[in-house]
Amino acid sequence: MGMGIELLDENNIRSLPSDERFLKCEQILKNETDESKRWDAVWLIGELAENKEPSDPMFQKVSDVLEWVLQNDTNGVVKHEACFQVAARNMRDKIPVLVNTALHNHSILAKHEAIESLGLMRAFEAESLIKKALDDPSTDVRETASFVLKRFDRLRNRGVYKPSDIL
């Protein structure tokens, strides 16, 4: 396990070949009512994109499922984890999805993590949109936006984000 987290995998999903593991996680994410199992599936599917290039078909499939989670899951904790996985795998084509989550999701937790993920990814191209979150009704969301914008000011000319820098 690349990220050093001991995750409950009571169904031995990690032992499946990558394509089967992907399908099993996708099935859980789209059909399971237990949000704790969906959270685990987000983590397990995210691992499939680890150390892969954005052009890799598995990276793209995982990226698309994480987008689906952000757009369709009903639980803020599950969406929070999907945001983290997008940032941890540096899925830059999902920056617009993170921005949408940050500005329009009903979950304060998901909004917070989407903004924080944009910060981790050094998504400077989304800076003007992150500024809109400074007007969010939630103090937590406003504080996260302020924090990320201040970090952007400090990181601005420090190079390109690489996931290994945070993991």
Residue 167: the pLDDT is 45
The distance of Cα 127 from the centroid of its chain, to the nearest Å, equals 18
In a domain, 5, yes or no: no
Question: Contact 99/129 with Cβ under 8 angstroms?
Answer: yes
3: CB partners within 8 A, 6+ apart: 47, 50, 88, 167
In a domain, 80, yes or no: yes
Count of domains in the chain? 1
In a domain, 163, yes or no: no
Structural domain boundaries, residue 132:
15-156
In a domain, 68, yes or no: yes
In a domain, 127, yes or no: yes
148: CB partners within 8 A, 6+ apart: 115, 116, 118, 119, 130
In a domain, 4, yes or no: no
Q: Which of 59, 73, 62 is nearest to 30 (CA)?
A: 73
> Within 10 Å of residue 81's Cβ, how many Cβ atoms?
23
In a domain, 1, yes or no: no
pLDDT tens, per residue, the chain with 167 residues: 445 455 667 778 999 999 999 999 999 999 999 999 999 999 999 999 999 999 999 999 999 999 999 999 999 999 999 999 999 999 999 999 999 999 999 999 999 999 999 999 999 999 999 999 999 999 999 999 999 999 999 888 776 666 654 44
In a domain, 134, yes or no: yes
* CATH number assigned to the domain comprising residue 19: 1.25.10.10
The torsion defined by the Cα of 141, 147, 153 and 154, in degrees rounded to 10, comes to -150
